[in-house]
């Protein structure tokens, strides 16, 4: 063995780190995907299901608010159940897509509003 080849063998044995294995490279990516699923995708799926259930449970005479802020009472549904007719005032009825309904109107009774905050 000559001097040059002995030096290369010595350098390879001391200075070079071993190549990382495939599982050790994939582990951080798998962890990121799992965190993303549990923090973003899963809660969004729950919210979407709750909203679909809420829209499916709408019935006549429910007071609702639309995403545009219009408050009305449901008077009817279209044949395909995709549209809702709202009465917003006497002799004023508007048709909306069911998906435009934000949800039922949470009304507070007048007696609740007149109570002091401390009681």
Place 105 in a pLDDT band, splitting at 50, 70 and 90: confident
Strands 71-77 and 63-66: antiparallel
Instruction: Tell me what pLDDT residue 88 has.
Output: 93
Tell me the whole-structure pTM to 2 decimals: 0.59
For the chain, give the mean pLDDT: 82
Rounded to an integer, the average pLDDT of 22-37 is 89
Q: Which fold has domain 59-109?
A: SH3 type barrels. (2.30.30)
User: Order of strands across the sheet with 101-104?
Assistant: 92-97, 83-89, 71-77, 63-66, 101-104
**CB of 53 within 8 A of CB of 63?**
no
Q: Is the pLDDT at 87 greater than 60, yes or no?
A: yes
Distance of alpha carbon 65 from alpha carbon 51, whole angstroms: 14
């Amino acid at each position: 063995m000559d001097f040059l080849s002995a030096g290369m063998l010595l350098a390879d044995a001391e200075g070079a780190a071993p190549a990382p294995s495939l599982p050790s490279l994939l582990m951080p990516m798998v962890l990121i995907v799992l965190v993303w699923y549990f923090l973003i995708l899963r809660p969004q799926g729950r919210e979407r299901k709750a909203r679909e259930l809420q829209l499916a449970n709408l019935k006549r005479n429910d007071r609702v608010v639309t995403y545009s802020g219009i408050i009305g009472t449901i008077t009817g549904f279209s044949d395909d159940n995709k549209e809702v007719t709202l009465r917003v005032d006497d002799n004023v009825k508007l048709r909306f897509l069911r998906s435009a309904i934000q949800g039922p109107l949470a009304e507070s009774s007048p007696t609740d509003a007149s109570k002091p905050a401390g009681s």
